[in-house]
């Protein structure tokens, strides 16, 4: 990863995980880590992810195109706000995209 891109990714990840939000930073970082691990085919813990979010986050990480309004409504019905759902969705999408980028770069570099 070139230095400028790496710096941008680091800033983006810090902003998503540690910036102001409705969801605790630990939970947003956990969603990033959860998605990265799943995308790379590894097991991951859901300890710091809010209760009931793991199935939705797994779907976002692995099959984003299959997510529906009903998935979001199910979380709203459990009492989660749109902001909370959005923040964890973005965190998950970031984690999955970083894992895919790293995997692609490794393939290009013969690793």
Mean pLDDT for the stretch of residues 99-110: 88
Q: Tens digit of pLDDT for each residue in 74-98?
A: 999 999 999 999 999 999 999 999 9
d(CA 84, CA 96) in angstroms, rounded, equals: 18
What number of other Cβ atoms are within 10 A of residue 46's Cβ?
A: 15
d(CA 64, CA 39) in angstroms, rounded, equals: 12
- Contact between residue 88 and residue 72 where contact means Cβ atoms under 8 Å apart: no
**pTM listed for this prediction:** 0.91
Q: Where along the chain do its domains lie?
A: 12-108
- Contact between residue 1 and residue 105 where contact means Cβ atoms under 8 Å apart: yes
């Amino acid at each position: 990863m070139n230095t400028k891109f790496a710096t941008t990714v680091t800033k983006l990840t810090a902003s998503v995980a540690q910036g102001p939000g409705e969801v605790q930073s630990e939970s947003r970082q956990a969603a990033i880590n959860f998605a990265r691990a799943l995308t790379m085919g590894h097991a991951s813990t859901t300890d710091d992810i809010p209760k009931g979010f793991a199935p939705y986050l797994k779907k976002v990480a692995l099959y984003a195109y299959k997510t529906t309004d009903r998935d979001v409504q199910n979380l709203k019905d459990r009492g989660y706000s749109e902001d909370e759902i959005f923040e964890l969705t973005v965190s998950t999408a970031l984690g999955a995209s970083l894992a895919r980028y790293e995997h692609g770069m490794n393939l290009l570099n013969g690793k």
